[in-house]
Structure 1
Amino acid sequence: MSYKHQVAEMISAALSKQGVDTLGAEQVRNMLETPPNPAMGDIAFPCFQLAKALRKAPPVIAAELAPLISGTPVREVQAAGPYVNIFLDQQSVAAEVVGTILSAGAAYGSRDIGKGRKVPIDLSSPNIAKPFSMGHLRSTVIGNAIANIMEKHGYQPVRINHLGDWGTQFGKLIVAYRLWGDEAKVKAEPIKELLSLYVRFHEEAENDPSLEDQGREWFKKLEDGDAEALHLWQWFRDESLKEFMKIYDLMNVSFDSTHGEAFYNDKMDRVVAMLEEKGLLTESDGAMVVTLDEYDMPPSLIKKSDGATLYATRDLAAALYRHETYDFAKALYVVGNEQRLHFQQLYKVLEKMGFEWAKEMHHIPFGMMLKDGKKMSTRKGKVVLLEEVLSQAIEDVKKVIEEKNPGLANKEEVARQVGVGAVIFHDLKNYRLNDINFSWEEMLTFEGETGPYVQYTHARACSLLRKGGYVPSAAVSLPQDALDSKEAWAVVTLLNAFPEVIDRAANGFDPSQIGKYVIDLAQAFNKFYANVRILAEEDAVKNARLQLVAAVVTVLKEGLRILGLAAPEEM
């Protein structure tokens, strides 16, 4: 139990002695504040909210409440106007926090809320035969981090790469390949060549609209199982996946399923039949829809007037398949903010079908990756390729290593870890709903609030442990003056907060909570490192400080892992 929870329980017990039984420890915990000045204490409890119930002025309540609060880890309690200010026994708190982390290791901050139940997470989902752009980076890294966060809460994440492997664009691509394609070129550089064919198709179609008709015809052939169309489609899919896997391997992201849109082709008739049975289908201008007027939403299109099914039909089929396959606790869709209405409609249609589990489905939206303030477009060829960005980042790190530490072991591996980490962290330190403007300079700056800064702090702390001859031990013994500095206390306070940060990240599906946290912890540690002689002459003091360093290493490494970054021990 964290010291804030211990204090909250004491305050709750003291309040019940005063006749206030409505504030449990959890509610009190949420009311606790950190005083702006350490001289005012470590924790403050405001009494404004109690004035009505107790019919007393807040300063009177504070004065009466303060003497009722005592026990470990509280050292002193003062009433200061409407606040109860609590001073902690920092030595005992530090010993408790550091000991807990060293005992738990990477499991620190874990909880068994999920009881091992599955959580399918729809993430990444690039389009076949199109490049893996910076736009797809967001869904990939946000989804992967959320999967790690869910795992930290005791769920079993199921990472699903719902590939965009169906649709009229394949008809267009088949037409383009048959007109201008070269098999050898496609085999040599699949994505690059297929993209140029796709871009050329749209350029030519501006002057020759009949190409659009041919594209629709070839997609119809594909749907009808035409041998040539199917052969080309399968080839485009296989070649694209091979290219994508190179990028996923670089980022150390893996999937439990790569069932894309095509997988649900034979599962949609069942959905339409179920909707018909339940009397939910209505005709509208020749199309079949499910009306959602009662939710102030436009109708959900299930079948076009020509009988073709739509995204909604496919996603309904996918939702049913996932529930039947995984019996999920919740299902997450890490998909751009522009799809918000689509998912709202999807969940409401499932609810109308009588599926209670639809309430446990969540769209996790995110903002766009912009270039020069504008949305990237594959169709116009205005796209920044993720593979190029990752390669450039790795090369930049290699140059820094050659400059600063040419004798570093595993140079190639460290350059990959730090370069890729820079790109991932640049995304995840931002709240997911914010748009991000792609910038080489900002992404590849290795100072300030960046992934490499946090990784370097971890490596520096590891180096201290090596120099100090640190021997791991979960038993913590703190001499009186070992951790009595404000810098050490700032580190202890942050270490203690890690489980709560995990909770906030899980409850809000928000990896940026962890991104901001590891920056704060790295900065606090570097102040400690700059102001305190960690490798002190006296062994007992040195060992106590090294134990704090070891706790920082444990938490930084775990925070980085959750975000999808490696934590090199040397840089």
Structure 2
Amino acid sequence: MACLFRRSIAAQLSRILGTPTEKLIPMVSAVPVSKKQQTLDFRVSVNSLLADDCLKSGSNVQSRAKTLSEQLTCDDVVTEIAVGQGTINFKVNRSLLAEVVMQAISKKGSKYGIDSELFRGYPCGRVIVEFSSPNIAKKFHAGHLRSTIIGNFIANLKQALGNDVIRINYLGDWGMQFGLLGAGFQLFGSEVKLKTNPLQHLFDVYVEVNKMAENSEDIQKAAQVFFKKLEGGDEQTLSMWEQFRSISIEEYEKIYQRLGVHFDDYSGESMYQEKAQEVLCLLDQKGLLKKTKQGTGVVDLSPNGDLSVYAKIVRCDGTSLYLTRDVAAAIDRMKKYDFDQMIYVTDKEQCTHFQQLFEVLKIMGYNWTERCQHVPFGLVKGMKTRKGDVVFLEDVLNEARLRMLQNMAASKTTKELEDPEDTAEKVGVAALIIQDFKGPLLSDYEFDWDRVLQSQGDTGVFLQYTHARLCSLQRTCEDDLQTQFNPAYLQDPQAIALLQHLLRYDEVLHQVSEDLQPKHLVNYLVMLSRLASIAHRTLHVKGNLPQRATARFLLFKGTSSVLASGMKLLGITPVEKM
């Protein structure tokens, strides 16, 4: 992989600067590939050398780059050295480039990119990722799609990097919203409808009772009474709650299966109702529980201790709040799992909640609070199906599958498939994931079905199509090839561009591991697919000299392997035919 080249360049710089090679290796970066012109392979920024005190400040950056480049020499690895804008650029031996990249992909397989010296010293441990977390007794809304696929991606990435990952689905299965639902179901719920279409019926009840509660104090009081009974352990109330909870999980699991998502632990707010009371006692003992004039229990977060900023922690009637239960859950998880990191994946509207959660934990004296992180994301706008405005995730997945089936049926290149619906489902899910991951997670974005399902451009359909085409090439050519690989036959510009791009994979994964933004990996895979498409049109395998055909075949096979690995990290199941 790039390790040999980075180390060779860093070793040369080390001799001149007197800085250890290991410190310089991360400063040697692969140059992004351009479709329009050929580029050199690696570069070192003079500013990065200055920032890390590897180079003493002095004359301007450009002249420092020129002076330093003149002290470097070409050798068996580096064949050209040139000065860029504040950088020193390096071209490496082309045969060695092909040999090193192809051997690394072949040897490391799915670990290619991860098994890199860029990850040397990467701290591995136990990581909890809490994501998805829908409210029970409500249909899985399309808004939960983002939390589900972002959390799944982070969990996949952390696991690939060698962490022990625990995936938690923290269900919204407690609180006053359940009091409303319970009160509503007692008024106009139907056991018959609950059996035939459970979540739809519960959703209808919840919508109706919410409307009534806006203008009726009686409904609000009934909801409070129901929730008070629930917290008090009333058998009949608990029985109804347990029925709604198990129905919900059963329905959600069908959706998760379609998305290729699994959880190690179905947790929920309900598990922490008693522990929330323990938290309140602990806060009281520490003198941290204050009362407002209205009787609400709060924790003072103000710098001057004047309650100008506070976190609500208990209602005036003594019932717990979402924040109380989250505090209890965090403390319990540390006792149970002794985690090294805990990541919460929710929308950006909950940023204040998590700031308060972490501050309360810190005030309580838990020094592991620094290991907790909130990964917020923006909203999806305009995600509608043909049926109307209320969009449930099941409808979105069905719509994606239906549209992909129609597109595949209309395409002249579609292959005969054993299970067209399964292929359409996987391609449709890929389309949804790539559309979601293209920009910064914090940004809102406008959903557009036509753009999402295009077979060209930066779409999941394009990635799946490219992978399927590379798999088709392997099926048709594998039997005719030699085993001997000669790097001299991978010197065409299209082959070099692909090799240069494959060289950058570990850097992209490293960047993603630093900021948890999937857009870097998406951009990388889209460019990989574009370069593969160009190479596929020009670097023919069939009908070529055996050694040239073998070299090209192995390049396409390696490209397919990296493309599949990257897609799996994103939560996409690659298809081999479409």
* Same structural fold, with TM-score higher than 0.5 when normalized by the shorter chain: yes
Q: Distance in 2 between matches of 1:525 and 1:535?
A: 16
Deviations 1:273-316 (A, max 9, x none): 22233332223322322222239982122222222221221111
Match of 1:485 in 2: 492
Aligned length: 560
Structure 1: gaps (5+ residues): none
Match of 2:360 in 1: 349
CA contact (8 A) 2:128 2:167 kept: yes
SS of equivalent to 1:408: coil
Deviation at 1:46, TM superposition (A): 4.6
Match of 2:332 in 1: 321
Match of 1:458 in 2: 467
Deviation at 1:54, TM superposition (A): 5.9
Question: Cα 1:98–1:412, aligned 2, differ >3 Å: closer, same or farther?
Answer: same
Give the 5 Å matches for 1:480-519: 480=488, 482-519=489-526
Match of 1:171 in 2: 179
Deviation at 1:160, TM superposition (A): 0.4
Q: Distance in 2 between matches of 1:298 and 1:433?
A: 26
Question: Cα 1:203–1:40, aligned 2, differ >3 Å: closer, same or farther?
Answer: closer
Match of 1:130 in 2: 138
Give the 5 Å matches for 1:52-63: 53=56, 55-56=58-59, 58-59=62-63, 62-63=66-67
Match of 2:559 in 1: 552
Give the 5 Å matches for 1:404-483: 404=411, 405=414, 407-469=416-478, 477-480=485-488, 482-483=489-490
Deviation at 1:81, TM superposition (A): 8.1
Q: Which amino acid aligns with 1:316?
A: V
Question: Cα 1:190–1:79, aligned 2, differ >3 Å: closer, same or farther?
Answer: closer
Match of 2:267 in 1: 259
SS of equivalent to 1:505: helix
Output the TM-score relative to the length of structure 1: 0.90
Give the 5 Å matches for 1:73-84: 73-79=77-83, 83-84=87-88
Q: Distance in 2 between matches of 1:35 and 1:464?
A: 24
Deviations 1:120-158 (A, max 9, x none): 111000011111111000000000000000011111111
CA contact (8 A) 1:423 1:443 kept: yes
Is residue 10 from structure 1 mapped to residue 11 from structure 2 by the alignment? yes
Match of 1:336 in 2: 347
Is residue 293 from structure 1 mapped to residue 302 from structure 2 by the alignment? yes
Q: Distance in 2 between matches of 1:538 and 1:451?
A: 35
Higher mean C-alpha deviation, range 111-120 or range 200-209: 111-120
CA contact (8 A) 2:133 2:171 kept: yes
Q: Distance in 2 between matches of 1:351 and 1:73?
A: 52
Match of 2:249 in 1: 241
SS of equivalent to 2:266: coil
Match of 2:227 in 1: 219
Higher mean C-alpha deviation, range 304-313 or range 33-42: 33-42
Q: 105, 108, 111: which one pairs with 1:104?
A: 108
Q: Distance in 1 between matches of 2:364 and 2:112?
A: 42
CA contact (8 A) 2:28 2:43 kept: no
Q: Pairwise CA RMSD of aligned residues?
A: 2.9
Deviation at 1:419, TM superposition (A): 2.0
Deviation at 1:7, TM superposition (A): 5.0
Is residue 305 from structure 1 mapped to residue 316 from structure 2 by the alignment? yes
Higher mean C-alpha deviation, range 547-556 or range 288-297: 288-297
Output the TM-score relative to the length of structure 2: 0.89
Higher mean C-alpha deviation, range 84-93 or range 459-468: 84-93
Higher mean C-alpha deviation, range 179-188 or range 46-55: 46-55
Question: Cα 1:230–1:392, aligned 2, differ >3 Å: closer, same or farther?
Answer: same
CA contact (8 A) 2:415 2:577 kept: no
Q: Distance in 2 between matches of 1:118 and 1:48?
A: 36
Q: Distance in 2 between matches of 1:140 and 1:167?
A: 22
Question: Cα 1:439–1:41, aligned 2, differ >3 Å: closer, same or farther?
Answer: closer
Higher mean C-alpha deviation, range 550-559 or range 208-217: 208-217
